[in-house]
Amino acid sequence: MKRLIVAITGASGAIYGVRALEMLRDVGVETHLILTVAGIRTINAELDLGVDAVRALADHTHNPKDIGASISSGSYVTDGMLVAPCSIKSLSGIAHCYNDELVVRAADVCLKERRRVVLLLRETPFHLGHIELMAQATRNGAIVMPPVPAFYHRPATIDDIVNQTVARALDLFGVSVQAIRRWNGRASIGAA
């Protein structure tokens, strides 16, 4: 069974983390959620879904201050970590291995164990400091994947855009979900 860590941090776009939890639940992947204080604030501002409902989507929920949680150790095997959305603060911590909270500690553990870490970075426009942080995180082994929408699948709703982005992120972990619409070389495409 696959096991993924999902962190929801304080950047706009909490729906990305929530949708990832929903998709992972639907395909039977065990999830470990880290929900930061700023992530809770973003959920309350952006979604009609309560924080308890978001926590209920995960198999396990961890306190973001608990750097002694199971997922803070390399001996606790996971298939990696998705930070969705990823704030610049979280990116900075991950880029600099600043392990004072669980999001960064869990990401750092995944990176040192050569497990996949995908960062759905939500910020725009970028200044040079942001770009340098992305470069450092990439050198450390993370994949920086800003949720830039694709349009070849002709999205009709925001949900279509969110689903495609999250499904592409999950592809990076070897998790395939039905929501993805793959390019097949033709203008008219169907679901995979």
The answer to whether residue 189 sits within a structural domain is no
Residue 85 in contact with residue 11, Cβ under 8 Å? Answer: yes
The answer to whether residue 181 sits within a structural domain is no
Residue 10 marked as a ligand binder: yes
Residue 74 in contact with residue 112, Cβ under 8 Å? Answer: yes
* Distance between CA atoms of residues 166 and 37, nearest Å: 22
Beta bridge partners, 33, equal: 6, 61
pLDDT band for position 184 (50/70/90)?
A: confident
Residue 176 marked as a ligand binder: no
pLDDT tens column, 62-75:
999 999 999 999 99
Residue 87 marked as a ligand binder: yes
Planar angle of CA 93, 95, 96, nearest 5 degrees? 65
Residue 11 marked as a ligand binder: yes
* Distance between CA atoms of residues 186 and 168, nearest Å: 19
The per-residue pLDDT for 192 is 47
Domain total in the chain: 1
The answer to whether residue 17 sits within a structural domain is yes
The answer to whether residue 179 sits within a structural domain is no
What's this model's pTM, rounded to 2 decimal places? 0.94
| Residue 135: other Cβ atoms inside 10 A | 12
Residue 36 marked as a ligand binder: yes
The answer to whether residue 79 sits within a structural domain is yes
Expressed as residue numbers, the domain containing 116 is 3-173
- Confidence check: pLDDT of 5 > 90: yes
- Confidence check: pLDDT of 51 > 70: yes
pLDDT band for position 175 (50/70/90)?
A: very high
Higher-confidence residue: 186 or 131? 131
* Distance between CA atoms of residues 157 and 140, nearest Å: 35
Q: What is the mean pLDDT of the chain?
A: 95
Residue 168 marked as a ligand binder: yes
The answer to whether residue 184 sits within a structural domain is no
Q: What's the CATH number where 126 sits?
A: 3.40.50.1950
pLDDT band for position 190 (50/70/90)?
A: low
Angle between helices 158-171 and 14-26 (to 10 degrees): 60
The answer to whether residue 23 sits within a structural domain is yes
